[in-house]
A = this chain, B = another copy of it.
Amino acid sequence: MASREISQAVIRRLPRYYRYLGELLESGVERISSNELSKRMKVTASQIRQDLNNFGGFGQQGYGYNVKYLYTEIGKILGLNEKHKFVIIGAGNLGQALANYAAFENRGFVLKGLFDVNPRLAGLTIRGVEIRMMDELKDFVKENDIEIGVLTIPKTKAVEVANLLVDNGVKAIWNFAHTDLNLPDNIIVENVHLSESLMRLSYNITRYNEEHEGK
């Protein structure tokens, strides 16, 4: 089941298809045409069919797509049936928010540890997972075969910690620090730069105000 290169644009849309199909499934819809889905999602039917056909023919002429089947298949493509052990570095508000975040489990992500520099947090547990101090990080990652590190620490520390994780076997980083990590090509990085999201919001408000309040 090897694959041509799939464009990032397609990959970015995949989780959104998955979400909509999940909602359809919940509301008991059995089948859907690309045309009907296109209306709900506000994308073209053509794009839906093109996107899906990167991965195989999931539909049937004259019928459309079976919602449950398509949902399951996209789940497989996204790898949601596989288990991934991860740790969170930085047990502040954001780190704790993520630790409590139920979506992890549905997606196959298993939280193994939380780490922080603040000694007052040492030994506390969140959802049964202990907060440990940073000096334990290296050994913990190695011994527990941790695959993913979630970075919710200030940018000043992020690069250093990311390198430590990678040196000890971590394969992927979910990066919430406001910096680029510049890791080796074989390391997968998914950035969540909230500050950039906020600036886009600011840009759009500003542009809207300029257009509508004269000037």
Q: Which residues of A contact B (CB under 8 A)?
A: 1-3, 11-12, 14-16, 18-19, 77-80, 82, 84, 92-94, 96-98, 100-101, 103-104, 107-109, 147-148, 171-172, 174, 178, 186, 188, 190, 192-208, 210, 215
**Residues of B contacting A3 in the complex (Cβ-Cβ under 8 angstroms):** 207
The residue from B77, B100, B109, B197 contacting A198, defined by CB atoms under 8 A apart: B109
Given A16-B193, A174-B197, 13 further pairs, Cβ under 8 A = A1-B210, A11-B203, A77-B206, A78-B206, A82-B206, A92-B100, A107-B195, A148-B201, A172-B205, A174-B198, A188-B204, A188-B208, A190-B200
**Residues of B contacting A215 in the complex (Cβ-Cβ under 8 angstroms):** 1
**Residues of B contacting A96 in the complex (Cβ-Cβ under 8 angstroms):** 93, 97
Q: Is the CB of A172 within 8 A of B199?
A: no
The residue from B19, B108, B190, B203 contacting A78, defined by CB atoms under 8 A apart: B203
**Residues of B contacting A82 in the complex (Cβ-Cβ under 8 angstroms):** 202, 206
Q: Is the interface of A mostly helix, strand, loop or mixed?
A: helix
Q: Is the CB of A205 within 8 A of B15?
A: no
CA distance A208 to B187 in the complex (A): 9
CA distance A12 to B204 in the complex (A): 11
Q: For residue A18, which residue of chain B has the nearest CB?
A: B199
